[in-house]
Structure 1
Amino acid sequence: MSSMNITSDEVNLLIYKYLQESGKTTQQTNPHSHSPILDINNTIIFFFFFFFFFFFFFFATTKGFGHSAFTFYNECNVAKSDITQYNNEIPHGSLISVLQKGLQYIEVETHLQDDGSELNCSEPFSLIHKHVCNIKKKSSSSSTNASSATTASTTSSSSKETSKNASKEKSKKEKEIDRDVKMKDRDKESKKKDKDQTMTNSMEIPDSLVTTLTGHNNEVFICSWNPVNSLLASGSGDSTARIWNLPNEGLVSASKGQISSLVLNHFNDNSLEKSIDVTTLDWNFDGSLLATGSYDGLARVWNSKGELLYVLSQHQAPIFSLKWNKNGDYLLSGSVDKRSIVWDFRTGSIVQQFEFHTAPTLDIDWRSNTQFASCSTDKMIYLCEIGKTKPIKTFQGHGDEINAIKWDSSGTLLASCSDDKTAKIWSVKSDSYLHNLEHKKEIYTIKWSPTGPGSQNPNKNLVLASASFDTTVKLWDVETGSCLNSLTKHMDPVYTVSFSPNGEYIASGSFDKHLYIWSVKDGSLVKSFKGSGGIFEVCWNNTGDKLAASFSNSTVSVIDIRL
């Protein structure tokens, strides 16, 4: 039998892939089902389990599922290893699969007897708990009792026999009736499934309306439409961002030839890393400038022609959030180094640094041209203002790291979401949250509908959407805090949601590779599309006739929408 060679780089890469799938529902298996047994000894299994759980709990608890993959990738030197070339070849859920097979090997080894037989144990194995066998044995007394009962039956009186036969006949008829009822129920269920499948097929977006943009050679984490034209920006783990030049009118899918793109390189000559993740990007209000933030801690400003204008280099750690203010004269960045920095893009100089958080800053959002909010893994939200050295307001109430924050169009309500499984709505007029909105697992992102006061659709009700690792998207009534609709078709964590410009539809993307478009009014499914990789980001263009999605398989899809 061939020997087995397991390297630390291979183990690290599997853990990195698992953390990218953070919050996914763990694959389940029958503990007594049989799979091919791995040729691996107990020492290797113990080392693998210990190694995985030590790093898993350290990173997941200190940095959170949503961001631990980035940290692990670099701190465990996966980024510097040649093994990264196999990243996209690793099947989804590989780490869990290996752990399951390891458990199955231990199960067989534990129950295998000297004579080659296997104990019939009904107690499942666990990664954590000590296994105590629960052996099923045949009872000799029950066999004796069965024999006695048979003897007694043959010697019973004819009257009892007649009664028993009548009882059996009655029982037989009841079973037949029950069988008929079950068959009818199955027929109804089968017809319902066929009907649902037919409806689903009619909702499927045809390939003729989908254009796949290729060019990146690693996962595409983010995409964003230019606010005034048909340029689409994307950011990837391949150390590049791209600006795709799409047709201004008509179907993208009808265009002939490959869609061209401008490549924005993010290579750092002073870094030993082979690749630098582009983690965030944002267009300014008139679409003339694109800002990108990356894992090397640098913010870069480009024009729409792909020319690099400034490199902003004050941060000492990865940048996870980057946004222009409404006037487009200030750029705000939030970093793992705990700081938020306001930059003057015209000179590339720092306007002001804000160092209020005690842990990594995960998201920032402008309230006005001079005020913004920031959130962190320290569970705090600070409202800051340019020119002031202390927060003008503090929002406190989450029990775990805060993943995202968003102001509504009027700047009066702030939404936040956290790994504590809640989203909260805050008001600048109150010290406590107005509504506490709950999911069953961590909430990765939130979005306000482009409706209500201060929006382009002021006569439509304001709605908040939250996307969670519990595989659902929920739409919330802002006035009452009640759930309007729960969108439940996804099978894996939902990483992204985006409202259409008119606020009538919402798109959701998940690591189950599905993009769904829902009606905001009644929560019904309108359209669906299955890609070939997990979805990190979805976004509508400004006219609402195109939808873009970025995937884990290095591609970007542009869908022509006709609703």
Structure 2
Amino acid sequence: MATDSSADEHNSKPDEDDDCSTPVSLLPPVPAEHLNFLVWKFFKDYGYHVTAELFAENNAVKENAGIEDLNICKGSLNKLLEMLHFKSVVDGDISQAGNLYDLVPGECFLSESSSCTTETSSFEHCQFYPEESFREVEVKYIMRTNYNYSICSLDWNLEDLLLTGSADKIVRLWNFEDKKEEAKHSCREMTSFGDENNDVNLPVSNGVILVSWSLQGDLIAAADSSGKLRIWKKDGSFIFNCLNVPENIVVMKWNVNGRQLLTATTDGIISIWSSSTGNCIARCTPFEDDITDADWKDDATFSACSKDGMLFHCCVTDANAKSPFKGHVNSINMIKWNSTGNMAATGSSDMMVKVWRFGNERCIGCLRGHTAEVNTLAWHSTDPAVLARPASDMLISCSTDTVICLWNGRNGKRLRKIGNGYGATVNVIMWNRSGQRIAAGRQDGTLEVLEVKNF
């Protein structure tokens, strides 16, 4: 709640000398400390006092920010944005009906000979691609459903069967059949990780479920945060439980040939499991900080990342980390290899996506198009046999700003933005094997399937 004085101020018309007049076409540069001050004042005026304090602490907002005239009316930030919109229309940057969010750049630099340090404040090699040069990608929602529990993971197989795992500890299998005007889908529950002594699927708050198809599509693995790891066949017939599984699993990935399964826990334990016996065949603890993600490069090599921004590569036959190095300043939330294993992408709390060629630990691209931390990524999953398709290097990124961005991973062009900054955070996103559909699971339990064309 705002204070009474601020409420009175809100209800009264501002004076002419409050500097809240109609926007003019010239917008002088606004120093960062002044802008931070206006954002802080916005939070204070509208009663978000805790948020205001956190913002002031994180952005070192000074008491007066060097502003000589502190007679700033309520709504100054809104007026500043109106001025920016007005100037952007006058300059031709956006249309009259355009949104200021369209001004957020899709920035990148891509250079075989240049390296990207963790301090990527310099953009000497940047190439900027204006919005009008982005090729329009057609996106159509073909399904949207909602559960009460956050969707934690999902995965497609070759037959377009979609697995989802959610916080209600239930694994669901979705089947899609194309129609001319609509997609008919059916869902059945494969297994529950609830109370084994009770047939009722008990809702629990900490039941993170991870699901994964083997690349051949014949085996399914699922794990929950309590350390249960199960493998079964596509028809739902149970094979076995893996034994002595560490708790707090946050990552689970099949390797390319489907013979080994990788798991990683929040406390830094990476385990490799045999799909034929269920036994652990390798284990390592490469990081001092929490592991956030890991992904296979090929049958025997994988990469992992951590909260302190570190990256490392490891071989199954050698559990020791290979040359750990700093990848981002902030936490790396996800790492994904493309289908050929020649490029990887990382998403971080620094709001950036970086594209890497490993071996020489070279960052060949930095993609900036999000306004909050990047929490999930997915490369287009075109079969290697048809990599001549233009979309084979398409990359999709999601952020806690709730916006989905589609990128050309080769040249860094942002092809499409999906979303308007509202709605629940996307927890996980993945292309189907044909590369024509995208499944997205959100924090509020919403499952969306999108059809992507014209790329």
SS in 2 for 1:433: strand
Match for residue 193 of structure 2?
266
| TM-score scaled by length of structure 2 | 0.63
Pairing 1:138-157 to 2, within 5 Å after superposition: none
Give the whole-Å Cα distance in 2 for the aligned partners of 1:412 and 1:475.
Answer: 17
Match for residue 292 of structure 2?
362
What per-residue deviation string (whole Å, max 9, x for no partner) do you get for residues 177-218 of structure 1? xxxxx9xx99x9999549xxxxxxxx895xxx744556x442
SS in 2 for 1:410: coil
Are residue 473 (structure 1) and residue 419 (structure 2) matched? Answer: no
Pairing 1:475-490 to 2, within 5 Å after superposition: 475=407, 478=410, 483-485=412-414, 487-488=416-417, 490=419
Q: How far has the Cα of 1:403 moved from its partner?
A: 0.9
CA distance 1:342–1:489, shift in 2 (3 Å): closer
Q: How far has the Cα of 1:400 moved from its partner?
A: 1.7
Pairing 1:62-73 to 2, within 5 Å after superposition: none
Give the whole-Å Cα distance in 1 for the aligned partners of 2:152 and 2:8.
Answer: 38
* Higher CA-based Rg: 1
Give the whole-Å Cα distance in 2 for the aligned partners of 1:30 and 1:290.
Answer: 59
CA distance 1:275–1:33, shift in 2 (3 Å): same
CA distance 1:250–1:387, shift in 2 (3 Å): same
2:441 pairs with 550, 554, 557, which one? Answer: 550
Give the whole-Å Cα distance in 2 for the aligned partners of 1:29 and 1:364.
Answer: 48
Match for residue 298 of structure 1?
228
1:371 pairs with 298, 301, 306, which one? Answer: 301
Are residue 222 (structure 1) and residue 153 (structure 2) matched? Answer: yes
- Equivalent residues of 2:382, 2:433 under 8 A apart: no
- Equivalent residues of 2:349, 2:375 under 8 A apart: yes
Match for residue 347 of structure 1?
277
CA distance 1:438–1:311, shift in 2 (3 Å): same
- Equivalent residues of 2:145, 2:448 under 8 A apart: yes
- Equivalent residues of 1:31, 1:125 under 8 A apart: no
Are residue 244 (structure 1) and residue 174 (structure 2) matched? Answer: yes
Give the whole-Å Cα distance in 1 for the aligned partners of 2:96 and 2:62.
Answer: 44
- Equivalent residues of 1:410, 1:455 under 8 A apart: no
2:217 pairs with 287, 294, 310, which one? Answer: 287
Q: How far has the Cα of 1:347 moved from its partner?
A: 0.7
Match for residue 443 of structure 1?
374
SS in 1 for 2:321: coil
CA distance 1:268–1:364, shift in 2 (3 Å): farther
What per-residue deviation string (whole Å, max 9, x for no partner) do you get for residues 489-525 of structure 1? 6333xxxxxxxxxxxxxxxxxxx24xxxxxxxxxxxx
SS in 2 for 1:382: strand
Pairing 1:59-208 to 2, within 5 Å after superposition: 100-101=46-47, 103=49, 193=97, 205=140
Query: Which runs of 5 or more structure 2 residues have no equivalent in the other structure?
Result: 11-41, 72-85, 99-137
CA distance 1:31–1:310, shift in 2 (3 Å): farther
What per-residue deviation string (whole Å, max 9, x for no partner) do you get for residues 281-338 of structure 1? 2101221211123222332223223344333354433222111111111111111120
Aligned AA (2:266): V
- Equivalent residues of 2:171, 2:209 under 8 A apart: no
| TM-score scaled by length of structure 1 | 0.52
Q: Percent identity?
A: 22
Give the whole-Å Cα distance in 1 for the aligned partners of 2:54 and 2:206.
Answer: 41
Q: How far has the Cα of 1:234 moved from its partner?
A: 1.0
Give the whole-Å Cα distance in 2 for the aligned partners of 1:281 and 1:243.
Answer: 10
Match for residue 160 of structure 1?
none
Q: How far has the Cα of 1:29 moved from its partner?
A: 13
Give the whole-Å Cα distance in 2 for the aligned partners of 1:283 and 1:300.
Answer: 12
Q: How far has the Cα of 1:265 moved from its partner?
A: 0.4
Are residue 457 (structure 1) and residue 387 (structure 2) matched? Answer: yes
More strand by share: 2
RMSD of aligned Cα (Å):
4.5
Aligned AA (2:248): P
**For this pair of structures, how many residues does the alignment match?**
350
Q: How far has the Cα of 1:274 moved from its partner?
A: 3.3
Aligned AA (1:473): C
SS in 1 for 2:386: coil
CA distance 1:251–1:324, shift in 2 (3 Å): farther
Match for residue 318 of structure 1?
248
Give the whole-Å Cα distance in 2 for the aligned partners of 1:125 and 1:363.
Answer: 28
Give the whole-Å Cα distance in 2 for the aligned partners of 1:334 and 1:292.
Answer: 13
